[in-house]
Amino acid sequence: MIADPHRRAGRFAARTADAAGQAAPGRWSRAGEMPFAGFWAQPADAAVLLTDGRVLITGGEDGRRVPTDVTALFDPAAGTWTSSGALWTGRRLHSTTRLADGRVLVAGGLGEAPGPVPATGLGSCEVYDPATGTWSATGPLAEPRFSHSATLLPDGRVLVAGGASVRSADSHRTLRSAEAYDPATGSWTPVRPMTDARFGHPAVRLDDGRILMVGGILAVGRGSYTALAYCELYEPEGDRWVPAAGLATGRKSHQATLLPGGGVLVTGGDMAGFKDSDWTYDPYSQWTTERYDPVADRWSAVAEMPWGRSHHRAVRLASGDVLVLGGTDDASMSVGYQNATLYDVAAGSWSAEFPMLRGRWAPAAIGLADGRVLVMGGLDESGPAAPLPGEDQVTATAEIYAP
């Protein structure tokens, strides 16, 4: 077994039961099973919190990477899952965004499993109406895409930026283009393109209404990709993109979380390439974290996570602290992590939480209206660790974290 140099042992405090034997905060409890097993490899979650407190989860892929058209609703009050109908098109690597009026927009993605020929991105989009429990088609994207970002703008439109599409019979291209969806008309309008092409990137709406694009992936050749350190800001009022300060380390499969006061915390991910400093290859997931100050336009290194991870989820709690859960090591991508860790914003430090009931990477996770966190699905064993050759083990289980 190759030791992971990004493991950090003994540098954080674990939460334990108190002297009276009562469990300390941070325990996980079972939350039933979704009607389907799936995982979501894009940084943007496929789960959204509806206005009535229920959670909607859409699409994703199964153990053979086949897109699914299944959707489901979780009721936190009852602790139950129900089907919410089928998407018009099965899709993975898509975006799911709650609109200002409470409906949910699903856009783009891929409609087929990986194969010898690059899959074409979907242009189709659809809208879910929680009041009627129905899905309906809406206007298509101006440019088909997958692994893009989708962010609700202050004026109620949805900004879709970047992503990937087919370049040739054996390669993909990375997109700079961006477009905005108008819920009133159900149509898309191209906006100015980004400064840098990127896909698989997180996007964060800042307190002042600007949208921050953080890192991501750039296709540089047939089956060859690199992680980006470049970041940029979209200013909706002027339809303008402005280069922002770059990350210290290029990242993909990372998370970006808005902090109280307007900063942004970036966790984990991997470099997927060579370090500029010494040109050595680094296949491992990163344990480093960085914090963005939008006023100074500056990234600063903050305390390292106790373990490097990619394809994890980071959820801001009601306290303002950030819960990081699950994920995997990009060097092998074989087993999902059970461990969870909490970033204390005020102290600038990490502490270990009780582990999840099941290891998982590329799950969906979302904060509930009552302050708890729901995590669902994900891969628990893949590649050589999977029980069956050619079929990763995907879970339908869900669990809830209580701060």
Residue with the larger pLDDT of the pair 81 and 120:
81
Does residue 203 lie within any of the structural domains? yes
Domain assignment of residue 20, yes or no: no
User: Which pTM value belongs to this model?
Assistant: 0.90
* 19-23, 48-52, 300-304: least confident range: 19-23
| Structure confidence at residue 48 (pLDDT) | 98
**Cβ count near 346 (within 10 Å):** 9
> d(Cα 335, Cα 327) in Å, to the nearest integer?
9
Q: Which residues contact 21 (CB under 8 A, 6 or more apart)?
A: none
Task: Note the pLDDT tens digit of each residue in 249-287.
Answer: 899 999 999 999 999 999 999 876 544 444 455 567 788
Average pLDDT (45-63) is 94
Determine the pLDDT at residue 378. Answer: 95
Identify whether 107 is part of a domain.
yes
At 276 the pLDDT is 44
Whole-number pLDDT of residue 287: 87
369-390, pLDDT tens digit by residue? 999 999 999 998 655 555 666 6
119 or 21: which carries more pLDDT confidence? 119
Asked, for residue 295, whether it belongs to a domain, the answer is yes
Counted domains in the chain: 1
Distance between CA 157 and CA 332 in Å, rounded?
A: 39
Residue 358 pLDDT exceeds 50: yes
How far is the CA of 51 from the CAs of 86, 99, 102, 129, 344, in angstroms?
Answer: 21, 10, 6, 11, 28
Percent of the chain having pLDDT more than 90? 73
Give residue 387's pLDDT: 64
229 has pLDDT over 80: yes
Residue 158: name the closest of 194, 129, 191, 183 by CA.
Answer: 183
Residue 240 contacts residue 198 (beta carbons within 8 Å):
no
Edge-to-edge strand ranges of the sheet holding 255-258: 255-258, 264-267, 289-293, 298-302
Whether residue 15 lies inside any domain: the answer is: no
| Percent of residues, the chain, with pLDDT higher than 70 | 86
pLDDT in tens, 316-340: 999 999 999 999 876 666 678 999 9
141 pLDDT exceeds 90?
A: yes
pLDDT, one tens digit per residue, over 72-83 is 999 999 999 999
CB atoms within 10 A of CB 134: 11
Q: What is the pLDDT of residue 278?
A: 47
Q: Could you tell me if 152 and 98 are in contact, meaning their C-beta atoms sit under 8 angstroms apart?
A: yes
* pLDDT exceeds cutoff 80 at 160: yes
Query: Which range marks the domain in which residue 36 is found?
Result: 27-401
pLDDT score of 4: 36
Whole-angstrom distance, CA of residue 350 vs CA of residue 321:
10
State how far the Cα of 71 lies from the Cα of 369, in Å rounded to an integer: 20
Condensed to tens digits (0 to 9), the pLDDT of residues 24-34 reads: 477 999 999 99
Give the mean pLDDT of 142-165. Answer: 98
Rounded average pLDDT over 306-314:
91
HEC readout, the chain: CCCCCCECCCCCEECCCCCCCCCCCCCEEEEEECCCCCECCCCCCCEEECCCCCEEEECCECCCCCEEEEEEEEECCCCEEEEEEEEEEEEECCEEEECCCCCEEEECCECCCCCCCCCCECCCEEEEECCCCEEEEECCCCCCCECCEEEECCCCCEEEECCEEEEECCEEEECCCEEEEECCCCEEEEECCCCCCCECCCEEECCCCCEEEEEEEEEEECCEEEEEEEEEEEEHHHCEEEEECCCCCCEECCEEEECCCCCEEEECCECCEECCCCCCEECCECCCEEEEECCCCEEEEECCCCECCECCEEEECCCCCEEEECCECCCCCCECCCCEEEEECCCCEEEEECCCCCCCECCEEEECCCCCEEEECCEEECHHHCCECCECEECCEEEEECC
Whole-number average pLDDT of the chain: 88
pLDDT average, residue stretch 124-141: 98
Residues β-bridged to residue 47 = 57
Q: Please indicate, yes or no, if residue 161 is contained in any of the structural domains.
A: yes
d(Cα 378, Cα 357) in Å, to the nearest integer? 13
Q: What is the pLDDT of residue 380?
A: 85
Paired tokens of 274: 């060579």
At residue 387's C-alpha, the angle toward residues 383 and 392, to 5°, is 45
- Residue 386: give its domain's CATH number: 2.120.10.80
Q: What is the pLDDT of residue 320?
A: 98
Q: Is residue 162 part of a domain?
A: yes
Dig out the tokens for 19 from the structure.
């002297």
Q: Within 10 Å of residue 218's Cβ, how many Cβ atoms?
A: 24
How far apart (Å, rounded) are the C-alpha atoms in residues 136 and 251? 36
Among 338, 311, 308, 319, CA closest to 403: 319
Asked, for residue 18, whether it belongs to a domain, the answer is no
Does the pLDDT value for residue 240 go beyond 60?
A: yes
